[in-house]
Amino acid sequence: AGMVGAFLMEIRRGTQSALLVIRYAAAELPSAPVEVSVCADSLEVRSGGSCDAAALPAGVSLVPSSCRGLQRLRGDGLHLRLRLRSPPPAADVIFPLRESLKPNKNYIFYCQSCGDIVVKDRKFLRVLPLPSENWSDLVEEWCCHPDPFARSTLHPQHGDCFVGDTFFLLNSGTESHKSKENTRVICKRCKTMLGETVSSDTIKYYVTEVIIQPAEGSFSPTPRSQFVQSMVAQCLLELSSAKSTFRFTIKGDNGRTYILVWLLNSDTLLVESLGSSSSHSDFTLFGDILTPSSGPVGTWNAVKVLYQPCIQCRNKELADAWEDDMGVHPLKFPSETCLELLLILGLSTTSLPPSLRCMNSFQV
C-alpha cells in the first residue's frame, strides 16, 4: 500500500539515455516485495497484490536489457538508468522572437495577464534585431579611438519594431499607457507593468508581458506560469545558440539582480506518470499545465537550469563575481516577473525527487 504508480523519467535526446525514478507515496518501503517490469514501451510495478502499469508516450522506446544502477534512495524511491532504442522526436522548434513578427502584416499586442488590447492593428515596415544591451561596453575592444556611437540612439520610427533580447521597441505613436508617477508602462485594465518609456516617442514592451497575434486572429489566453516559462526558456535558448553564452543574470527593471541562471541542457524530455495515488499532486512537475486530455502520462520538453536566488542579499559574492564576468549575459524583466520566475523555479525544484534538486551549490 506504500507504493504509488507515479514515475518520473528524465530523457536526454543527445545521449539517448534515461533516468527513471519510481516514486513511493511515503518515505517507508512497502511491506511486500516490489517487482518492477521494464518493457520497450511500458512500465509495470507490482507490490502486495496491487499492480500499476503505464504505457510510455509514442516515440519513447526503451532497451530493457540496458537497465543498470538500480538503487533505492530514501524519500525518492527506486532509481535506475536505461538506454533508448532511438532518440525521441525532436523538440518543437523555437523561433527567434523577431521571426514571430513579419513586415507588412497587421498585429495586435495584448496584455498577457488580462487580454486587454495594448497596441491595436499596427503594421511594421521593418522588424530589426537590436545588439545586446551591453554592446556599448564592448566598443572599447572594437575601436582604437573614442566611442563613435556615444551620441547615437537607436529609436524606432512609426513603421519600425526593434527586437531586443527580452523586449520589443516600438514608436509610441498614439498609444498612451504611461504611469503618471514614473516611466513604467502599465495595462489600463489590470495595472500590470507591461514595459517602460525609453524616450518621448519610444516604448519598450517586455516579451513576458504581451502576446502578439496577427490582427485577423483572436486572443487566446495562456496560463501565466506556462507563458513565463516558455518565454524565458526561449530567451535562454536563443542567446546560448547565438552567443555560446550559458550563464545569465536575471535582473529587474529596478536594476537589482534576482536570480543567477546556468543553462545545463536543452535536449531534455520529461515523462511523468501521475499514478493512482490521491497524493499525486506531490509528484506533479507541471501541474498547472497538465490537462485531462494529457491522460495518465504527460510529456514535456524542458530546459534544465541551475540557479541561485539573489533576493535579500543571498549569494551576493557570487552575484558580484558574475556581474564582472563578460561571459555572463544579463536579462532584464519587470521586477514582479523576476519574482514570479523565482517562484516557478522553486516549485519546479521542490516537485523533483530530493536527490535531484541540487547540483553542487546550485538548485536544479
What tens digit of pLDDT does each residue of 33-83 get?
878 899 999 998 887 778 888 889 888 999 999 999 999 888 888 999 999
Angle, CA 183 vertex, CA 178 and CA 184 arms, to 5°: 70
What pLDDT score does 289 carry? 47
Rounded Cα–Cα distance for residues 364 and 355 (Å): 10
Closest CA to 23 of 327, 364, 355, 359: 355
Task: Please report the pLDDT score of residue 142 as a whole number.
Answer: 74
Cα–Cα dist 317/324, whole Å: 11
| pLDDT of 254 | 94
Instruction: List all residues 6 or more positions away from 228 whose beta carbon is below 8 Å from its beta carbon.
Output: 208, 337, 340, 341, 344
Q: What is the pLDDT of residue 362?
A: 97
What pLDDT, on a 0 to 100 scale, did the predictor assign at position 110?
95
DSSP letter string over 192-251?
-EEEEEEETTEEEEETTTEEEEETTS------HHHHHHHHHHHHHHHHHHHH---EEEEE
CB 199 within 8 A of CB 228: no
pLDDT at 343: 96
Angle between helix axes 224-243 and 335-351 (nearest 10 degrees) is 90
Question: Please, is 89 exposed, middle or buried when counting C-beta atoms within 10 Å of its C-beta (0-12, 13-18, 19+)?
Answer: middle
Residue that has been written with the C-alpha cell 516485495 in this structure? 33
Per-residue pLDDT at 243:
87
Q: Which three cell numbers stand for residue 296?
A: 495518465
Task: Give dist(CA 324, CA 329) in Å, integer.
Answer: 11
| Domain chopping of the chain, boundaries | 7-86, 97-214, 224-268+284-363
Q: Is 133 exposed, middle or buried (0-12, 13-18, 19+ CB in 10 A)?
A: middle
Q: What is the mean pLDDT of each run of 10 residues along the chain (364 residues)?
A: 67 95 67 84 84 86 94 89 90 70 92 94 91 68 74 82 93 63 86 93 95 88 92 93 93 96 95 57 45 64 96 94 94 97 95 93 96
Chain segment 100-116, per-residue pLDDT in tens: 788 999 999 999 999 99
User: What pLDDT does residue 69 have?
Assistant: 92
Parallel, antiparallel, or unpaired for β 77-84 and 106-111?
Answer: unpaired
Q: Which amino acid is at 43?
A: L
User: Cα 184 vs. chain centroid, distance in angstroms?
Assistant: 25
Fold of 7-86: Immunoglobulin-like (2.60.40)
